[in-house]
Structures are given as structure tokens and as C-alpha cells.
Amino acid sequence: MSWRRLARSPALWGLALICAACIVGPLLLGVDAEAIDLSARLIPPGPGHLLGTDENGRDVLARLLVGGRVSLFVGFGAGLVAGVLGAAVGLTAGWVGGLVSAVLMRLTDFAFAFPTIFVLLLAATLVGGGVPQLTILVGLTLWMTIGRVVRGRVLELRQAPFVEAAAALGASPWRLVGRHVLPNLQETLAVAVVLAIHHAILSESTVSFLGLGLRPPLASWGTMLANSQAYLATSPWLAVAPGLAIAFTVLATYAVAQSLSLPQETASRFRGP
Amino acid sequence: MFLARRLAQAALVLWLLVTAMFVALQWLPGGPAAFLADPEFESPERITQIERNLGLDRPLLVQYEGYLAGLLHGELGWSPHQNAPVARLIGERLGPSLLLMATAFTLALVVGTAWGTLAAWHARGPVGALLDAVPVLAVTAPGFWIGLLLIYVLAIELRLLPSGGMLPPGSEASPWLVLRHLILPTVVLALPWVGTFALYTRSSLRAILVSDYLRTAWAKGLADRGVLWQHALPNAAIPLVTMAGISIPHLLGNAVVVEQLFAWPGIGRLAVESLLRRDYPVMLGIVLVVGLAAILANLVADVVYHLVDPGVRVE
Amino acid sequence: MLGISRSVCWLLALALCAACGPPQMGPTAAGQPAAGQPAGQVVLGSSEEPLHLNPLFLLPHHFPQHAPYVMLFDSLLQIAPDGRFLPRLAERWEPSADNLSFTFHLNPQARWHDGQPVTAEDVRFTFAALMDPSQNTARDGTEALTAVEVLDPQTVRFTLKHIDPLFLPKGGSRAIVPAHLLAGKDLARDPFNQQPVGSGPYRFVSWQAASSIVMDANPDYFLGAPHIGRMVFKIVPDQNVLVAQLRSGELDYGLVEPRDVRQVEAIPGLRLVEAPSPRYYSIGLNLRLPLFQDLAVRKALMLATPRQELVAQVLEGHGVVLQANATPASWAYNPEAPQYPYDPEQARTLLRDAGWTPGADGVLAKDGQRLAFAVSYASNEKQTEQALVILQQRYKAIGVSITLNGLDATELLNNHWPKGEFEASFQLWNPVYDPDQNSSLRTGGSYNGSGYSKPAVDWLFAEALSTLDQGARKRLYGQIQTILAQDLPSIWLYSNNEVHAVSRRIGGLQPHPINTFWNVKDWTLQ
């Protein structure tokens, strides 16, 4: 993994820009994201309101930036929770095998078979709609995919020639895992975490849509998306703004994940790589 | 035997699921009885009475045993709100849901892997960049947005396709009619999965295309295409199969939005509605059926794993 | 590679072929009906689907699901939009001298859809089932009933344990079910629940789960055959799609949300029918809290609530502001009840004079108590949420802080409200059959969540429920409204108008708060 290459990656800077925009943007913009102006409802994007106003006259750009804080937190937070939990389970199950693997995989099956929507709605009713609760909850609905994918990859790697060779040379299990397995997991894990982040942001949107997620007037890209559905025919920009924000964030995250992947491909007779 | 052991484990997980749901329902505030009494005119005693009528006043363990006993006889209970057997309620919605998900899944798998393969092959240059960007956009575009756009353009303005439902109201079921109604919701449901499969295929394939394993194959003198088909794709298929297998339950979550938008008579909407009403028998039934589907899907994925590369020991 | 590309091409080709398939089946062209024969088809859009089609279990407050029932079944009488009682299954009825019993004379022409005559036994059976405690039936209208007797095949007598002016509107509106098909059967499990047999102007044909309910005209309907041959209920859960289908003509009728009215107005071939409704919203205050025990606080809140603005912005003007617990659509409405303007200045003065001073955070406080409270509401109601967001800002301007507490609707209505587990509660009230709301306003009433208690009001309710004279009851309820407008146990908000979009080909639609399709047999189709 090359930190230098990562630092040069435009996607990482893009992501950093998005995060920075959401953190300091609202202060720089000077517009109150919660200020209602009923005489200025549903104005299309233009001078004065760069992204227009919503059904209560609130400035969409300001809301987008403030909402971004919540969505980014939930998205990355949940992705992190899912990634850590999933990687731990997958690595353990894949490497150790046997009864441990069976138990862990059945646990994964169990967590997985529970309809996500029930889990989120049930939990939202029980623990409330705060941001930290939502982050952990959403993370808990996403780790299973990562667990299975990681386990699959670990199983492959365990039997790959270079790993068997290293084992034959007397490397300890820890060295095998650390030097050979983990580095090769990165790309798979990175892609899985990126998609978990995407699911996390959309899960938050679904729960908010059903009214059991974040409480108004707390904004997030998910609640903005949900609220825009009613006005889609008359004011489509309300859905475009949060939709594009989510798209750019996940796009940037994915590109960053790409930069984390395997070392530079060397030239070969192969046309593609 | 491997299969027998996995089936036994699957039954165990299913039992765990039902039990966990049973317990969770006790924690949930409210119950099925509240929906059946008009709170403005009925006294709280009436709710207690309704609970008695529904057998909800019996000790939890007795109710639980009764439910399990019923399950063993293939009885999923009755919905106290819809006055119909849970098995039939779920059954009539499961078919359309499975049809939608299976079609979307197949479409996503085919188009996604094709795309991902192309993207991996052409990883360098602007073509590669474009091929990479599109799946990510597909994954992130909000489903209801794309769906409504398609409805407005293709169904309302251009009148090419129906704007909703599984069949025109009041008409006899016919495969041809269903097919026409299936197109739009399938595309909308499949879109994020096309992207997902494309991304996974691309990443797995690239990792393999540049790996030592493959250089060995070239060194042996295999042609490009041979390398791809005989060595690269089968190995890339493993995580893909895993991904494919576990995407099915996720489809249920996405399906709710699509079912709502296209008035598709599926199980996703039933899940949300029954939760809001606290229709416990239906909720338990859904957990059971969806859980069973998820477990079986994982099982199938593991079996395919086994077949694709017998060298990989699954347990 | 080539293999995959080929498969993709085939798939695309197949998809294209499917798209160019046979023309979509839509509403049939309305032909000229043969003289007197029902003809044509109307497609009605509905966002909610009935849970079942058994009127014994139908709850009045689930009103979006009521539509098919009034087409399939008959009740003893029917309430007209102006409040008069019209004969339906019963030709006429008379109370006894002491008003403790009612004798109904059934129309001898009434028939079930399977040809059997409707008899007094059917009425007796229906009400016996409604009153049976071992059944989870909806018991509206039977509260005061002690006995239902069959006097002869066309005559049935109801005996009440006390005078109940609610019996005729509520009990008389209950749909009657066929005894010969349901006697001895498990009412909650019989296939009747999904394949009903009624006596109404339309006959059940089919029900595709979560898709559509089809009903055909009953040409032998005893009150006159309907003109429209087929009624199709199409379930369209998404409001955007419903509007789109109204535009494309796939739907001939739909209920329109305020935000879509402008769009729908512009659709040629449709007309909008707007009607006031007796349903209304208010924010109930928990009077057990010391905060709300001061009338000055309640008055100030009322003055600081921009109700006209809420109607203009949230309801897009399709609604009306209230003074008390009745809307202009109710026959008991008292226009003389005290009015409150939107006057935040006066609100500030009132609070200041009552000893409230701004704290460090800008929120008013007095003796360590902040003027801050949570407003509970049904989280799935987007309109309510929008109103509360606006209200939050307006209250902030006078130093009142509210937080929004979205809850599951059933939880809110069944638990939190009646048990008083809330600080303020934004709720929809539904006095559709009768304006009486004693259970929520009388001292000790089972639904009196706010804990309001006023002997004068208790006396007025008791009086209004002891006479059948509508004129007298109107005066009494009018006085209650005046007191409620002065006492402000709730912040009286507004009432939504119902906006119906209906195809211009359809004539005869007359909106009605209880059921839009009450006179569906008189609808015509060009």
C-alpha cells in the first residue's frame, strides 16, 4: 500500500474537500440552514439561492452542507463499524476454520436473515433516532456482507501457492496473516467497505423516510431525499442536490479505495493491464 | 455429509431467528390488539379483552410453544387484522416479489459481470475510466428518482410501458402482460446491483489479471483469451458467487421502495405495513420466510463455491 | 466475452419486443349504455388498500379504506351530506315514546347478491355479532344497545339502556351482513372476508391482492340500478404516480394532496371538487403539567400560532382555521365562538405580565421552569411535520422552545394520548358521524388525554346526550365550543379540505365526509 500514491490521488482530495465543505461551509456561507422563509418556498436554483429553496423556504445549499455532516458521519461511521466487525469475523472464520468458522458463519447467517427493515424500524422505536444510535445500528446491518466476502477471500489466499510456500518455509501463522493475507485483502475489503458506506447512507434515508430515523429539523442527505419525493414533479432539484452529493461522496470514496489497492501493475504483453 | 450438516445448521439458525423475533416483539411497545379498537370510544378493558380473544394473555412460553407446534404442522397462523391465513397473505405476495427479484438479479448479474469484465480488461485509459464511473453512478442514483423519471418519460409521456401494477386491473393473469409490467420495476431494482456486480467483477478480475498466478499461465504460453476464460474468470467468480448469494436479502430492502413506486404487490410493502400495525403473526411469518430464503441462498452460494473450485475447502 | 455480449444483446432484444407488445389495457371506452342498462367502467385510484371486506371488523377511523364497503353493502339508513337521515335498507323507522327503542321497517325489495331476501334476521345477526365480546368486531354504534329483536321478517326493534342520540347516526350506518352465509361460521376466518356477499349497488367480482378490487353493477339493486357498469379500485401507493396516472387517464378519480392541486388543475379532462371536512387538527396540551395550568400561557400559545399562515403554506389554502373543536362542515359548528388572531406581540405581553422573562438561551423562564415542551405527533404524517417545523420557528421568536417527537401513529393514539404520556400532542380528530366528543373532553372521559375538567362542560355534554332533538343539541354543542375557545385545553388549529380529482366524463359525484361514494349508484358516465 503506497501512502505516497494515496496522497497524490485526486479522489482523496475530493473527499477531503467534501468533508471540509460540510464542516466549515455553513459557517462561511452565513446562511442559517434552519431558517424558514415561507415567502420563498420552492424557488428553483438561481442567484440568491444557489441550489434553490425547499418546501419551507430553507436554503438547499446550506441544508445540504449541514446535512452532509450527519450523513458523512453515519455513512463512514457505519462503514467503519461494519468493516471492523466484518473483517474480524471473516478473517477469523476464514483462517481458523472448523467449528469456529461454522459458528461464526451461522451467526452471520442469522444476522443476515433478519429482514433489515424490521431491524432498523424495531430498533428505532426502541432506542430512538439519535445519530450515534443510527450509526451503530446501520453498521450492524451491514457487517455480514463484508464478513462473508472477507472469509471467501481469506479461504482463497490460505490455499494460494505463495502462502503455502511461505508456510513451508516455516513462517508463523501471525506472519502469514500479517505479511501475506492482510495486504491481499485490502482491495476486496476496500470495495466491500465502500459499498457498505453507500448502503449506510441509503439505509439512513429509508429509515428517515419512514419517519423513524432522524428527528426534524435535523437534516441529512437522507431526510432531504425523503422529503423531496413529494415534490418531485414540481421541484425536481430538491432530489438532485442530495442525490448528487451522495453520488460524489461514494464516487470519491470508491476512487480512494482504488488507490489503496495492489501495487502498480507492471507492463506486460497483456493488452489490458 | 457436508450438505446434511449445513442443512441441520440452517434449521438451527431458522429456529434462532424465530425465537429472537418472538422475544423482540415483546419488547416492542403496543401489540396487535390496539389496532382493532377505536381508542376514542373503546375503553382499555376492550383492548384487554381483544388480547384475550387473540390468546395474547397466555404466558409467553405457552404462546411460543403453540407457535412452534403450529410451524411444525406447516401452520403460520392467522392475521388478526386482515382476517386471512398468514401463509396465504405471504404466499400471494411472495410470488410477485420473487419474480421481480429473480429477474432483477439475473439482469444485474449478466449485465454487471459483462460490464465489470470489460472494465477490468480496459483498465487503463479514458475508456477504462468511463467504464469504471458508470457502475458507481448506477449504485448511487436514488431508486425512486430513477423510477419516477422512467415512469414519467416511458409510461406517461411516451406510453411505451405501463406505469405500475403487475397486471392491468381486473384482467386475467397472462405471462405476456406480466412481462410488460415487469420491465420498469426490474430495471430500477436491478440498477444498483448492476453497479455492484460490475464493481466486484472488475476488482476481482483485476487482482487476478495482475497476479503471479496468471503470469504462470502466460508463461505456459496460453493465449489472452484462454487466460481470461480458463483461469481468470473462474477465480474471480468465487467472491462474485458469494456476493451474488448474499445480495438476495438485500434486494428485499430495496424492493420496498420499488414496490411502493410501481404498486408491485410484493412482500416488502407487507413487511412495513404489518410492522406499523403490529400484526405479529404476519411479521413472524415474514421473518421466517425471508430468513429461510436468505439461509438457502447462502447455502446455494456455498455449494456453488464448492463446485466452482473444489480445491477450496469450504468448511 | 463474445458469449456474454451475445446474451446481453438477446436480452435487450427481448426487452424491446416486450415493449412493443399488444396495447396496454386501460379503461374501456365508455360506450353509450343501452337504455337503463349499467355500462362503462370507472377506475378509482386509492393509496390504501382495505385489509379485508368484512364490515363487521371495519373501524371508522381507518377511513381511507372505507370506499368499497358503501358500494358492496347497505346499512339501515344513510346520512346525507347535510346531515339528514335517508332510508336505505330500512324504508322507515320510528322511536318509541320514551326514545329508548327504535323500530325499523325494512324494504321488502332488498336482496342479497345471491338472490336471498334481506330480512330482519340479518339485522339481528349483524348486531349480535357486533356486540359479541368474544369477537374482535368494531363495536361503534352499539354502546347503548341491550337487545335486538325480530318482530317479523321485515321489522326489527332495537332497545337501548339509555337515551343515545348517537345510535341512529352510528348504529344506523353499520353495514348489514347476510346471516344465512355467516351464521355459525368463524367470522374472522371465513372466506367471506375476502369474497364478500352484500346487498349494495355493486357486486364483488375479484380482488387481486395489493393491486385492485373489481365490482360490477347490481342491476337488481332495490333502490335502482347504478348507471356505471364496473367499478375498479386501483391501489396506487405513491402519490406522484397517482397524479401521473390521473394525467394519463388511467385513473378516473383520485384524492389529491394540497401540493399537487395546481398540477392536477391543469389537466384537461379532469375537474376538481373541493369540500370542507369535519376532521380537524389540534395540539392537545397536557394540563397536568404546571407549565400548561396557567391560562395566560395557553392563550399566548394560541395567539402565537400562525394558523392562517399554516393553512396557506402547508395546506396551500385548501383548509380552514378553527376556533374550537368543530369545523364549518359540522352541523354543530358555532361561528360565534371567540376568535384568536395571529398576534405574537400580544402573546409576548401576556407572557411578560404573567412573569415570564427571557433566560440566557433566549427561552422564556419563570421560577426555574422553562417555556419548553415536546410536541408528539404521528411520524408518518409529513404535513404535520411541516406544520411543526414552521411552528417551531414562530414560537422561537417569542421565546417558546418546542422539540418534535415523532411517534408511531398507533402508539400515539392508543397509548400516549389516553394515558397522558405526552407534553403536547398534535392529532387528527375525526367526528364524522356525530359532533359529540365527550370521551375526550368530559371529566374522567376515557379518551381525555389532556386531563381537562370543567363541570359546565360536563353538564352540557350530559344534556346533549340525553335528547334526540338536533336543534337543541346544536345549541348545547355550540356553548361547549365557546367554553373550549376560552379555556384552550388544546390549541385549535385547522381542518383540511378534501380535494377530489374526477374525470369530466363522470357526473353525480357529491363529496361527503363519511364516504365519497355514498351516492355512487347515481353517478353517470358519458
pLDDT higher for B78 or A183?
A: B78
User: Is B287 in Cβ contact with A118 (below 8 Å)?
Assistant: yes
CB pairs under 8 A between B and C: 183
SS3 annotation, C464-519 = HCCCCCHHHHHHHHHHHHHHHHHHCCEEECEEECEEEEEECCEECCCCCCCCCCCC
Asked if C524 and C506 count as a contact pair (C-beta separation under 8 A), the reply is: yes
Q: Which residue of B has its CA nearest to C447?
A: B40
Q: Which residue of A has its CA nearest to C376?
A: A215
Nearest CA-CA partner of C127 in C163, C88, C169, C158 = C158
Chosen from A1, A109, A156, A259 to mutate, greatest number of chain B CBs within 10 A: A109
Pair type for strands C372-378 and C401-407:
parallel
Q: Does C91 touch chain A (CB under 8 A)?
A: no
Alpha helices in chain A (DSSP H): 3-8, 10-29, 60-96, 98-113, 116-127, 131-140, 143-158, 161-168, 173-175, 182-209, 221-228, 237-259
Query: A82: which residues sit within 8 A by CB, 6+ positions away?
Result: A139, A140, A142, A143, A145, A146, A193, A196, A200
Cα separation, C112 vs C506, whole angstroms: 27
Predicted TM-score of the model (pTM):
0.85
Which grid coordinates are listed for C364? Answer: 422564556
pLDDT (tens digit, 0 to 9) for every residue of chain C, 526 residues total? Answer: 333 334 444 444 444 444 443 333 333 334 444 456 889 999 999 988 999 999 999 987 777 788 899 999 999 999 998 888 999 999 999 999 999 999 999 999 999 999 999 999 999 999 999 999 999 999 988 989 999 999 999 999 999 999 999 999 999 999 999 999 999 999 999 999 999 999 999 999 999 888 899 999 999 999 999 999 999 999 998 888 899 899 988 999 999 999 899 989 999 999 999 999 999 999 999 999 999 999 999 999 999 999 999 999 899 999 999 999 999 999 999 999 999 999 999 999 999 999 999 988 889 999 889 999 999 998 878 889 899 999 999 999 999 999 988 887 888 888 899 999 999 999 999 898 899 999 999 999 889 999 999 999 999 999 999 999 999 999 999 999 999 999 999 999 999 999 999 999 999 999 888 889 999 999 999 8
**Which residues of chain B, if any, have pLDDT below 70?**
1, 140, 170, 210-215, 217-219, 221-254, 305, 308-315
Query: B156: which residues sit within 8 A by CB, 6+ positions away?
Result: B163, C244, C245, C247, C248
End-to-end CA distance of chain B: 12
Which grid coordinates are listed for C241? Answer: 404516480
Pair type for strands C372-378 and C424-429:
parallel
Task: Please list every residue in chain B whose beta carbon sits closer than 8 Å to the beta carbon of residue A155.
Answer: 312-314
Alpha helices in A116-180 (DSSP H): 116-127, 131-140, 143-158, 161-168, 173-175
| Strand, helix or coil for residue B129 | helix
User: Is A233 in Cβ contact with C240 (below 8 Å)?
Assistant: yes
User: Is B43 in Cβ contact with C414 (below 8 Å)?
Assistant: no
pLDDT of residue B203: 73
Task: Please list every residue in chain B whose beta carbon sits closer than 8 Å to the beta carbon of residue A220.
Answer: none
Chosen from A215, A218, A224 to mutate, greatest number of chain C CBs within 10 A: A215
Whether the predicted pLDDT of A1 surpasses 60: no
* Residue found by looking up cell 492482510 in the block: A182
User: Is B29 in Cβ contact with A115 (below 8 Å)?
Assistant: no
- Distances, alpha carbon C134 to alpha carbons B32, B44, B54, C171, C279, in Å: 16, 16, 9, 20, 32
Asked if C172 and C85 count as a contact pair (C-beta separation under 8 A), the reply is: yes
Closest CB to B114 among C8, C234, C437: C8
Residues of B (100-159) whose Cβ lies below 8 Å from C = 107, 110-111, 113-114, 117, 121, 148, 151-152, 155-156, 159
Closest CB to A56 among C263, C389, C404: C389
Closest CB to C390 among A36, A125, A227: A36
C-alpha distance from B163 to closest chain C C-alpha (Å) = 7
DSSP C205: E
Q: Which residue of C has its CA nearest to A209?
A: C380
Strand partners, C85: C79
Residues of B (28-87) whose Cβ lies below 8 Å from A = 28-29
Question: What rounded mean pLDDT belongs to chain A?
Answer: 78
Q: How far is Cα of residue A29 from the mean position of the Cα atoms in its chain?
A: 27
DSSP C278: S
ipTM of the predicted assembly exceeds 0.90? no
Q: How far is Cα of residue C442 from the mean position of the Cα atoms in its chain?
A: 23
Asked if A163 and B104 count as a contact pair (C-beta separation under 8 A), the reply is: no
Nearest CA-CA partner of C395 in C361, C353, C364 = C364
State the Cα angle at C186 between C129 and C180, rounded to 5°. Answer: 65
For C470-490, letters b (16+ CB in 10 Å) and e give eeebbebbbbbbbbbbebbbb
Asked if B164 and B262 count as a contact pair (C-beta separation under 8 A), the reply is: yes
Backbone angles phi, psi at A267, to 5 degrees: -65, 145
